[in-house]
């Protein structure tokens, strides 16, 4: 993990990246729609990709997905299979957004892009051929962090349609304080201390800002939230603390910890057989809370 190494990774063609991902994750699978779209961003257009298991639908919620990768790596292509599975299991369109990455674009470029994309999708469903009645924000790892940060922004200044659900999967919820799991699972569990040090330096976020550390914010008023963690993840304890803080703030929350699994499991379903069952459990909780939110 160096700036030079990241520059080399940037040169890998998307089709080759997709082949590499399929060594550890399942294929994208059957969909009625899988198409590229473009979203205006604060510093230029943001490429995105729309996944939908249905060719036609009436009014309903749309999920905005933010990929993981430490705010440095990852792409719509690398997380296509996860976004597609969310579309199938939640039975709603998923729009996966390419936000700007560090070190070329340090914080707050990523949260700026994520918020702008969510607001635009909420207000411009017709341009996408959708009748958007609400938003689901979802993401894994760094994308889970962006899910929380964007959820707070849209709580404080609502978008054109209401937030229905947040789905942060093993997010970094609090960079302002140390947690025991960061030491216990520092090396050998898929997300090493060395990698995290590089990601943090490249992204250069303020660890005490609620635009990076959701647990530094007042969480009251957020929509129903599903928090997913992994039991062998350095970020585990921050995720557990997040679930507790949401409940204490009166937010409807569901929690699932993938026992015996590591950070990144939702995109390792070929490599870790139990990961598929854990993702099914997480998305089952999301369906339940989303249904309750729609009923309210």
Predicted confidence (pLDDT) per residue in 79-117, tens digit: 999 999 999 999 999 999 999 999 999 999 999 999 999
Judge whether 141 counts as a catalytic residue. Answer: yes
Q: What is the pLDDT of residue 13?
A: 84
Catalytic-labelled residue, pool 75, 78, 96, 141: 141
What is the 3 state secondary structure string of 198-242? HHHHHHCCCCCCCCCCHHHCCCCCCCCEEEEEECCCCCHHHHHHH
Burial-class residue 243 by CB neighbours within 10 Å (0-12, 13-18, 19+). Answer: buried
Mean pLDDT confidence for 196-204: 97
pLDDT digits (tens, 9 = 90+) for 112-161: 999 999 999 999 999 999 999 999 999 999 999 999 999 999 999 999 99
Q: Do the beta carbons of residue 289 and residue 161 sit within 8 Å?
A: no
pLDDT digits (tens, 9 = 90+) for 6-21: 989 889 887 787 788 8
d(C-alpha 26, C-alpha 232), whole Å? 22
Q: Which of 222, 208, 224 is nearest to 285 (CA)?
A: 224
Could you give the residue ranges of the DSSP H alpha helices within the chain?
3-10, 14-21, 80-90, 109-123, 142-156, 180-184, 193-203, 236-248, 273-295
Mean pLDDT confidence for 210-235: 98
- Which domains, and CATH codes, for the chain? 3-295 (3.40.50.1820)
């Amino acid at each position: 993990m160096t700036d030079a190494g990241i520059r080399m990774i940037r040169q890998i063609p998307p089709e080759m990246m997709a082949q590499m991902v399929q060594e550890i994750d399942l294929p994208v699978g059957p969909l009625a729609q899988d198409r590229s779209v473009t979203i205006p961003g604060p510093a230029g257009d943001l490429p995105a990709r729309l996944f939908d298991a249905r060719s036609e639908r009436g009014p309903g919620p749309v999920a905005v997905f933010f990929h993981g990768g430490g705010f440095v790596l990852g792409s719509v292509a690398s997380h296509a299979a996860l976004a597609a599975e969310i579309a199938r299991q939640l039975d709603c369109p998923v729009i996966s957004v390419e936000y700007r990455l560090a070190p070329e674009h340090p914080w707050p470029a990523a949260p700026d892009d994520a918020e702008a994309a969510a607001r635009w999708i909420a207000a411009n469903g017709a341009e996408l051929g959708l009748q958007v009645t609400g938003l689901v924000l979802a993401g894994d790892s760094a994308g889970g962090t962006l899910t929380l940060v964007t959820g707070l922004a849209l709580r404080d200044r609502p978008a054109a349609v209401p937030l229905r659900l947040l789905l942060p999967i093993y997010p970094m919820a609090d960079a302002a304080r140390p947690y025991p799991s960061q030491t216990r699972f520092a090396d050998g569990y898929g997300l090493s201390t060395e990698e995290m040090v590089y990601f943090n330096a490249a992204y250069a976020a303020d660890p005490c800002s609620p635009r990076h550390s959701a647990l530094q914010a007042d969480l009251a008023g957020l929509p129903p939230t599903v928090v997913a963690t992994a039991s062998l993840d350095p970020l585990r304890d921050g995720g557990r603390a997040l679930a507790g803080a949401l409940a204490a703030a009166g937010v409807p929350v569901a929690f699932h910890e993938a026992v015996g699994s590591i950070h990144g499991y939702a995109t390792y379903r070929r490599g870790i057989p139990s990961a598929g069952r854990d993702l099914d459990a997480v998305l089952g909780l999301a369906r339940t809370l989303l249904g309750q939110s729609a009923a309210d």
